[in-house]
Every structure is written in C-alpha cells, then in structure tokens.
Structure 1
Amino acid sequence: MAESLPLEMLTYILSFLPLSDQKEASLVSRAWYYAAQNALREINVRYNIPVSLASLPTIKSLGLRGVSCIGLTNLDGSPASHQVLQSIAYHLGPHLQSLCLGGGSPTEASFVTLILGCPALRSLDLSGCNSLFVSGTLLAQPETAQQVRQALSGLRELNLAGLRDLADLSFNRLSGCAPSLERLSLAYCHLTFELGPAWGSINPQDSSPSQLSFHNLLQFVKERAARLRALDLSGTGLPPEALQALGQVAGLQLQELSLHSCRDLSTEAVAALCRQQPGLTSLDLSGCSELADGALLAVSRGLRHLRRLSLRKLQRLTDAGCTALGGLRKLQSLDMAECCLVSGRVLAQALGSVRRAPPPLASLSLAYCSSLKVLQFPQLRQLSLSLLPALTDNGLVAVARGCPSLERLALSHCSLLSDEGWAQAASSWPRLQHLNLSSCSRLTEQTLDTIGQACKQIQMLDVAMCPGISIAAVRRFQAQLPQVICIQSRFVGGADLTLTL
C-alpha cells in the first residue's frame, strides 16, 4: 500500500521520523529512498562538501536531488577549487539557498563566478574568508557589482564574522549588492570607534579603504532600518555610547541582537537598549563582564517578547537579579552557564514558582550554578547541568521527574552521580537522543545497560573519561542500539576510542 502513495505524502510521513529511522526507510525501495532524501532536505540539512576533484560526482548527484544548503571545506585558490566552484554553480546553483564558505580562501574571480550561478541564495556565510578582502578590490568594477547585485537580490542573511581585512569600502560594495538583507553578522571584526555627535552622518567618499568604522556601520543601519532584523556585533568591543546610537536609530525594530564578549558595555547601556528596542526576541549578552543585576532587571521589564536569552559568564549576576526572570513569560531558551554567584535553586524558583504557568522553556544551561535542587519544566527539551559537582543521585531523579521531555542532556563532570541514580532516572527520559556523561567517574557499565533499556531513541553518547566503563561495554551498547550514530569514549579503560557510524 505504501508503494502506491504519492511521493509528496511519503515525504511528509517520513519527515516525522528521527534521522536514523529515515536512513533505514531509505533502504526499503527506490520510492522510499527519494522520499527520505526529500524529507532530509525539508529539515534543512547542510551538506558539507570537501573541495577536491573527487567531489565532482557527488556535486552532480546532489544537484539531481535538488539539495539547497551546502558548506564547502578545504577551499583555496587552486585551479582544482575553481573547477569545483564552477561545478557547484552549474549543478547546484539554480536552487541553492544557503551557501557557507566559512574559513575558505577563494579567489575573487572564482567567488564572483560562483555567486553569479546562485540566483536563489537566501543565506551566505563568508566568515573568515579573508582572501576576498585583502586587496580591497572585491566588486570594485561597476559591471561586476551590478551582476552580483542581481544574483543576490533575494539574499536575507550575510555572515562576515572574523574578517580582519574588511573595510568600509569593501563592506559597502558587498552589502550594496544585497538590498533585501535582514540579518548581518560582523562578529569579531575589528571595528573602529570615533566618539562624537556626527556618528553616521558621513559622505560616501569618507568611507575608509583600510578600516571598518562604526560610523559607516551606523549609516548602513540607518539606511536599512526598515528591513534589518538581526545584528551580531559580538567581540567588536562595542562601547556603551555606540550601543545607544544603534538602539535609537529611527525605524529600527531589531528582533535578534548578539553582543557576546562586548566587555565594555554597562548596565545603563543595556537598560537604554531595552527601552529603545522592546521588540527583541533574542539577546546574547554572554561575556559582557561589566553587567550586573540591574541589566537583568531591565531585560525582564523591557523585553516582554524575549524568547532566547544568553547570560553566560556574567560573574556579577546574583540571585537577586535572577528573581526578575519570572516576568519573561515567552522565554524558550536560557543560558546562565558559568554565572558563579547564581544559585540554581533560586533560578528554578524564579522561573517556576509564579502563580501563572511557567514559561515554555525548551533549552536551559546552568553549568557551574550552585545549589541546584528542583527543576520543573515539563516542556524542556535541552538541558546542560555540566560541572555541577554537588549534583547527587536524588537531584538527578528530581530533574528527571520535573523535565520528562528532554532530548539533549549534558551532565559532564558530575562526579557524584552513580548507577543507582540512573536506575531511577532513566525511565523518565524515553525521548533522550543526545547524552553527555563524560568524566562522571562513579558510573559503570550498569548505567549503559540502564540507558540502553530505557532510552531507545539515543543517538549520541559521550562517556569519555569514565574509568568504570570498559571498551567491551561500549561495544555491547552499540550492538544493543544500532541506531546510535556516535559514541565518544576517549580514555575509557586506558584507550582512546570513538565509534562513529
């Protein structure tokens, strides 16, 4: 009967299966094979292609399957790389929507050839591709720039992170070819800041050919304010005055902002941002070491639509600030790892003890937090409790009962956990797929047996540095659960073993 179903219906059905089951289904018949491949594409799988002549047949095959998302590795300026890029433009280009060249070294000519063959691109990652910007002449020819502008007319996302040679002129030329841009990353680029009231009020001839200046970026934001939705300025050294200038741009309504490791930002600057950009749904302030409880209070009061919040490595945050988190009723992802003054117990109370239902958290990281007692988040799918040396078997059982929907769980370096705790907790996690137990020194092969019986959907397991688990036990576990994709077991029993299917 299944053979008579239309390909579209088979594809829809298989899209609900885990990746391992989709692989098994692809072996049933030719129709199921094509349906499984279509299902894989629908979940936005990225195919990483090594740039070598040996990849040419694979590129042709992927083109026949209509693959729309690829990344290239080992890309350089060699003739072989140029030939591979030509093949990609021909076979994959017409339907390619996402292209990652991150860390590659393409020539300007081969890059332009590739882009001209990809008229449907929505996302382009050039992070670390310094070879394109060393000369400062990329897209300097008006004819070439016009052709690239036509090819990139639908581009929505541009990643320029880590480009040490990016300057105003080259940025303006490239961004000018992407009129529909909504998401931009300049993370860890070297931005220069000249404090003054004239930020952003510059002429095109003032753009620097050798530096990437904040006033040029601000002018870009002003011009694209109506469309720009996401900005990543992590690691740029953004000062408080610059953040305020960005936040008050007329018409700018950011949804996502990442300021990771901008260590000069102040609590007052974050408070002003929350007033200026109340529509933010994602905010990353990790590593902004000057921020204190007042910043978290401002976030909880001003950003009522926030869904993702990262506050990792904020050493000045305390329990007093965390009590305000209960006001973020739409929060889905929270990262407070390595906030050493934050108590997991107080945080759990702040998020779950209000009279209304708790926020719909799906991802939570509390690594390094102390005094974790109870977590009650029935919808939580991803949880990191690594490096909690005080987490006991009783705590593990409480987490299992309070968070029964977990699919990913990290418990590395939780040295008090034992086989007894897992014997009680494992049955609460039938959906578990990724599990990290590295350096849990008291666990033995009994825990592997327990996990194998209770967690049938497990795909990835890390038991590295677990002296009580032998290589033989790892192999038995692998045989018991053939759907497991990868088992990390470095230095188990004195050996270094990684099983990967």
Structure 2
Amino acid sequence: MGTAEECHIARDKIAENLPNEIVTHIFQYLALRDRLAAAQVCRRWHAVACDHRLSADEVMFFHDNLSQYLPVLQRSSRAFSHFVFKEMELGDKLLDFWDRFCPSLRSLRIQACNLSEKTLVDVLSRCPRLQRLQLSGCRELLMSGRVLESQDDVALLRDTLAELRELSLDSNRYLSDALFNRFVAIAPALEGLSLAGCPVSFHVGLCKRFYPHTDARPLASESLLTFDNVLRLVAARAGLVRRLDLGHTLLDNVALERLCRVPGLRLEALRACNCEQVNNAAVMALVELQPGLARLDLSRCSRVTDHALLAVCARMHALVSLNLRCCGGVTNLGVAQLSRLVSLEELDLSQCRLLTGEGVARALCPAMNTRLRELRLTGLELDEATACLLAESLPALTLLDLGFCFNAVTDRSLQAVCRHQRRLRTLVLAECNKVTDAGLTGMGVGEPAQPSEPAQPSEDVRVRLLSVRNGERLADPFHKISLRSKAEQEIVDDAKLKTLVSEVCEQQYVRTDDSLANLAGLRHLNLCGCNRITDVSLKHAFSFLELRHINLSKCHQVTETGMRSLAANNPSIEELIMNNCYVSDEAMICFVRHSPRLRHLELQHCEELTDAVLDALGESCGCLKHLDVSYCGKMSPEAAERLRARLPGLSLVRAASLHVQAAGWDFIPPPPPTPLSGLRRLFRR
C-alpha cells in the first residue's frame, strides 16, 4: 500500500472518530449553504447540522406563498427560531404550522401581510420565547382599529410575551394612539421601539385639538398618532428603553430635545434617518443630554452641519456607529475631528458633497486605526493618495465602499487595498472605471514572488510593465503620431493593455500580495461599471472560496473564457448581477452549469441572450429563487413560463418587455389611431 493512500485512509479515520462536539464547533464556522452541503455527506453529519446551536441564527423567509413549503416544514425535525413573512395571507389554515414552530420562535417579522386581529392574537399567544416582533405595512390589520381591543387579549399577551425586547411598527399609516398603547402594553420588558415611516404628528395645535384637556387623558385617539402620546409611554418605560427609531418622520429639534430630557432615559441607539427638520440645535441637545449613545444615524438630515458634528466628536466618546450619509452641510472642518471618537467601528460619510480627501485623511489616518470595521465613502471627491493612505491606516476593515470615487480608485490604489486589507469581506468599487486588469491582477508592482521563483520577463515586457505602473500610455513603436480620436485611442490602449497583462500573467510575473486574489476571505464584490475589466482578471485574479455575491454589470469585455474561470474558481457564488452586458449564450450556459448554488441572477438588458439560457437554468440551477431577465429581447415569455414550471421554488421572474415570438405576433404593433379632434385640427391647418 502506497504512502499517499495510507495517509488518505488515516485522515478518513480521524474524521470518522471526531466527537460530535468538535464537529459541531467546526460547523459553526461554515456558512449556511456550506452546512447544508455538509449535511448531505452522511447521517452523522446531518444530525450534527440539525443541532439547535447551529440553527439559532438561521432566518426562514417566505414570500407570496407558503403552501408549497408546508409539507416539508411539517416533516422537519429542526426547530427554527426566526421567521419572515412578506406579502402573504396568514389565515386559519396555518394553525398546525403555528403550533409546530411558535414555541421556539425568537423573532417574527410580518411585512405587508393580510391577517386578521384574531389570527395575530392566536399566533402571539403561542410564542412565549419571542424577543423581537415587527409588524410593517400591515394595512388590513390596523385599518379597523380593533386589534387588541379586548383587555383579556392584552392581559394574556402581556403574560406570554414577557421576553419581548424589540417592537417595530414601522410604515403603518393607520397606526393611532390607541393602537400604539395596546401594542406597547403587551411588551412589559420593551427595550427597543421603531416607528420609522409612521405618520407621527408633532404639531402642538393638532395635538390640542384631539386632547383639549392636558391634565388628564382618559381615552387615546383612535384616528391620530401623536408624539406627545409616544413621549408619555417612553417616559413611563424610561428605565428600560434603550433604542429608538424615528426615521422618515417629521421629528424636529423641539421634539428631539423633549425626548432627550425625559428623566431616567439613557439611550444607546437613536435613528433619525431622513428627518429633515432635525438641525444643529437638536443634535447639540442630544449630545448634552444623551452622551452615552453608542449608535447614531443622522443620514439625510440636510440641516446638520459641522457645528453638530464637532459637538458629537467632543462629547460622545462611546460612539460605535455613526451615519452621516447625504449630510450636505458637513465639511472637512467637522470631519477632521472624527479622530477623537476612539471607539468608532462603523462610519458612513457617503455623498457628503463638500468633503475632500484632505478632510477624510485627517479624520481617519492620523495614526494606525485597528478598531474601524466598516467604512462607506460612496461618491466623495477623493484622490489616489487618500485611497492609498486609507488602505495602509485601516488594516482591520471588513467592509470598504469606494463606489463612484472616480479619481480615487485606480490600479495603484486598488493594489494598496489588496496589499493591506487582508480582512475585507465586502468591497464596493461601483463605477470606478479607471480600474484595469493591471490593478486587479497585481502586475507591475514590486518583484516577483520569491518562493515560486517564476521566470523573469523579457526586457521589452519589463519596460512596458513600468509604463503601466507609472500610468503612462503604452508606446507604439511603429506609429509615432496618431490620428485617432481620444475615444479611439483609449480603445486601442485597452486592447494593448489586455494583451500585455495576459502575457505577463502567463509568465507568472505577478506579485500575489498586490492581486485581488490576496483578499482570500472576500464574500461580496461590486465592480458595476468597471468596463475596462476583461477575461484576464476573471481568469488570474478571481479565486475566492467564500465569494457569494458579485456584480459585474456594464463590464462589456467579459466573454465565455472569463465566465468559465469565474465559475470554476469561485464555487460558492449564490448571486450574480450582470445587467447591461454583451455576454453570449455560451458564456452564461457555461457559468450556470458550474454554479449549482446560484440563487439570485439578474440579466437586465442582456440583448444577446436567448431561450437557451433559461433552459440551462432549469436544468442546472435547482436552488434559483430570483431571476430578472427584463428587456432581454431574444427571450420569449413561453421559455420563462417553462422555467417557472420546472422550478416551483422560483419566487419571482421579472420578464418585462420580453420579445414575443408566437406565430402572428412577431411584429411591432402600429401606433394607436389619431382621435377625430386631432384630425380636425390637422385639416384646419
């Protein structure tokens, strides 16, 4: 027996003899899809994968129809703890389902569903371990105003939901003071409350109209939701309430200051997204009265300026997350003080149009920062030097968003990111069209990798590498003077660059530390609009075992060769977005046949694709749940229907504007006839 075979058998025996506790611990590091695949290896691993400790964070999402999943769920021996229902009818036919899963339920989200008042009480009365409840956009439930009308129901649910900590009633236009009071009454241990998008009335005169007697309020209004009523209940629970979400409401500085002055209230998180009435005075009052905030969201608050940000940086030293997206009044002066927030882990400065690279560098790069985990800088006026400095100074980032930073993201800055950001899980470079194959493959920077000792390139290739590295145009030895236009010259240069990078990659003159492949743990990658990327990058730089979501929209130079390499080297892809691409049938068929885990696919405006792609999806992608083939002119509605019939789990097929190829309909319909009144005016002229 050979040595290699003996080692293989020894490894198999070790795997078989591992205790279940160790296998369970190993499975905790696997993603959900990986655990599902491992559960099919043997019965023992299947039993381990069903351990409740592994499924504690799994969320069951149902959209539009539940009947096809009921038999499978009823036979399952697993106990699921989190359910989401969207745009469904939840009636009495699901009583067995509720009896089966409600006792172990920890979170329940009901979004835009049709259910009666009695059904809601029956469901909640079966959930003694529920910790989070979200009722979003439930118009039919709240329209009558009779939900939880019975005091007996309220008392029953108050005793049952003793562990309920989070209550979200966002986007409910029929929510009133009376309904709000009833929902709060069934949550005696409430810590987090969300009223985002609800019609909360902050106007004092309107409140006085419905509550003329301020001393006593015997009955809550059944037609209006007032901030005074919300504030009164928050004051009654001041010792417990820690998180509030009043985003997308008319929250103003007076209301926010009144909220902050509630005796005993110690907020940890406040979300005031898109509250355009919030200004500097409100933020300064918040800083003075609630300095212990850990999470603050002021995105799209256009009246917030540097004065408010300076106050935040001076007092809120415990801040962990700060969102200032689309705060147009914030400039370099205020952002420069962000370095004082030593506990900051998440920062969003996207679309703050007055910020420049100088302010961002002073804020985030005065020294090495190992705490910041997520950074979003979409649409800022940054430069290449700032992007390189950010990559060097923030080594602990797991999310980096530099989308629409046209001047900052170049080959050089991208290679700096690949060299220093080893922990990145999400990278967004949308519309950064200066990125080329040279940056993604890491060619032209430094010396060849020492361990492998690849062959040295020729002197001519070395000169051209240095030209690419320095950003110079590739020289043409035969034509000293070019009569091409600027656009034509760019096309010629891109073609030469593709040839050069391919040649260098084949010679293995690539330093992996500067290649995108260095980000071994990457899971989400957005390269939408990076139209200078070709098959060379997909072949030599895209190799990620954990990559699940990738966006290659408007990458017009990707062909069958690149798609074949993408599928072969990235086995975990679940979501692919390739809108507005010139990809062919052969390329997509090759990809889908090697991507059995594919669940989400978008191919809008891919005009070269035909019904053959839909047939290949039906044969190879049994896990597909979402498909968008809008404006694919060579696909027929009949093929889309065949795919839907073949994949009953396909919840959505958007087939808008598909070309109709049925007999007698393969023509452009004529315009509608001109009205008689229009003809009369035409003849009069």
Same fold? TM cut 0.5? yes
Query: Structure 1 stretch 164-173 or stretch 345-354: which is displaced more?
Result: 345-354
Which residue of the other structure, out of 398, 402, 424, is the alignment partner of 1:381? 398
Match of 1:141 in 2: 150
Deviation at 1:102, TM superposition (A): 1.5
CA separation of 1:56/1:97 partners in 2, compared to 1, >3 Å: closer, same or farther? same
Deviation at 1:418, TM superposition (A): 0.5
Cα distance in 2 for residues equivalent to 1:155 and 1:171: 16
The secondary structure found in structure 2 opposite 1:479 is helix
Is the 1:331–1:359 contact (alpha carbons within 8 Å) kept by the matching residues of 2?
Answer: no
The secondary structure found in structure 2 opposite 1:117 is coil
CA separation of 1:492/1:211 partners in 2, compared to 1, >3 Å: closer, same or farther? same
Query: Structure 1 stretch 224-233 or stretch 28-37: which is displaced more?
Result: 28-37
Query: Structure 1 stretch 396-405 or stretch 243-252: which is displaced more?
Result: 396-405
1:336 aligns with 2:426: no
Question: Pairwise mapping of residues 290-309 of structure 1 onto structure 2 (< 5 A)?
Answer: 290-309=303-322
Q: Deviations over 1:275-327 (max 9, x none)?
A: 11111110000000111111111111121111111100011111111101000
Match of 2:427 in 1: 409
Deviation at 1:495, TM superposition (A): 6.3
Which residue of the other structure, out of 359, 363, 370, is the alignment partner of 2:374? 363
1:481 aligns with 2:570: yes
Match of 1:447 in 2: 537
Question: Pairwise mapping of residues 23-34 of structure 1 onto structure 2 (< 5 A)?
Answer: 23-34=36-47
Shift >3 Å, 4+ stretches:
1-9, 18-21, 37-43, 194-204, 494-499
Question: Pairwise mapping of residues 213-232 of structure 1 onto structure 2 (< 5 A)?
Answer: 213-232=226-245
Match of 2:505 in 1: none
Match of 2:101 in 1: 92
Match of 1:429 in 2: 519
Deviation at 1:107, TM superposition (A): 1.2
Match of 1:116 in 2: 125
1:457 aligns with 2:546: yes
1:54 aligns with 2:54: no
Cα distance in 2 for residues equivalent to 1:186 and 1:202: 26
- How many pairs are equivalent? 493
Q: Deviations over 1:101-137 (max 9, x none)?
A: 1221211111111111111100111011122111111
CA-based RMSD: 2.3
Alignment identity in percent? Answer: 32
Cα distance in 1 for residues equivalent to 2:52 and 2:556: 40
Q: Deviations over 1:148-196 (max 9, x none)?
A: 2222221111111100000000010111011111111100100111338
Question: Pairwise mapping of residues 8-407 of structure 1 onto structure 2 (< 5 A)?
Answer: 8-38=21-51, 41-42=54-55, 44-50=57-63, 51-62=65-76, 64-76=77-89, 81-84=91-94, 86-195=95-204, 203-354=216-367, 357-358=368-369, 360-372=371-383, 373=386, 374-375=389-390, 376-390=393-407, 391-407=409-425
Q: Deviations over 1:61-115 (max 9, x none)?
A: 45x20111111133226xxx4312x133211011111111122121111111111
Which residue of the other structure, out of 405, 411, 418, is the alignment partner of 2:436? 418
CA separation of 1:293/1:359 partners in 2, compared to 1, >3 Å: closer, same or farther? farther
Letter in 1 for 2:308: A
CA separation of 1:417/1:90 partners in 2, compared to 1, >3 Å: closer, same or farther? same
Q: Unaligned stretches of 5+ in structure 1?
A: none
Query: Structure 1 stretch 64-73 or stretch 471-480: which is displaced more?
Result: 471-480
CA separation of 1:65/1:262 partners in 2, compared to 1, >3 Å: closer, same or farther? same
Cα distance in 2 for residues equivalent to 1:24 and 1:472: 28
The secondary structure found in structure 2 opposite 1:133 is helix
Cα distance in 2 for residues equivalent to 1:302 and 1:358: 20
Is the 1:386–1:411 contact (alpha carbons within 8 Å) kept by the matching residues of 2?
Answer: yes
CA separation of 1:206/1:111 partners in 2, compared to 1, >3 Å: closer, same or farther? closer
Query: Structure 1 stretch 122-131 or stretch 236-245: which is displaced more?
Result: 122-131
Deviation at 1:345, TM superposition (A): 4.3
The secondary structure found in structure 1 opposite 2:167 is strand
The secondary structure found in structure 2 opposite 1:246 is helix
Cα distance in 2 for residues equivalent to 1:387 and 1:38: 44
Structure having the higher Rg = 2
Cα distance in 1 for residues equivalent to 2:540 and 2:348: 29
Cα distance in 1 for residues equivalent to 2:100 and 2:39: 23
Q: Deviations over 1:343-373 (max 9, x none)?
A: 244213322214xx52511111000111242
Is the 2:370–2:395 contact (alpha carbons within 8 Å) kept by the matching residues of 1?
Answer: no
Q: Deviations over 1:459-499 (max 9, x none)?
A: 22110111011255224311332222222222321569696
Is the 2:295–2:320 contact (alpha carbons within 8 Å) kept by the matching residues of 1?
Answer: yes
Cα distance in 1 for residues equivalent to 2:328 and 2:172: 29
Cα distance in 2 for residues equivalent to 1:111 and 1:495: 50
Q: Unaligned stretches of 5+ in structure 2?
A: 1-13, 443-514, 593-597, 600-685
Query: Structure 1 stretch 282-291 or stretch 442-451: which is displaced more?
Result: 442-451
Cα distance in 2 for residues equivalent to 1:124 and 1:110: 15
Is the 2:147–2:179 contact (alpha carbons within 8 Å) kept by the matching residues of 1?
Answer: yes
Structure number with the bigger relative contact order (C-alpha 8 A, sep ≥ 6) is 1
CA separation of 1:5/1:428 partners in 2, compared to 1, >3 Å: closer, same or farther? closer
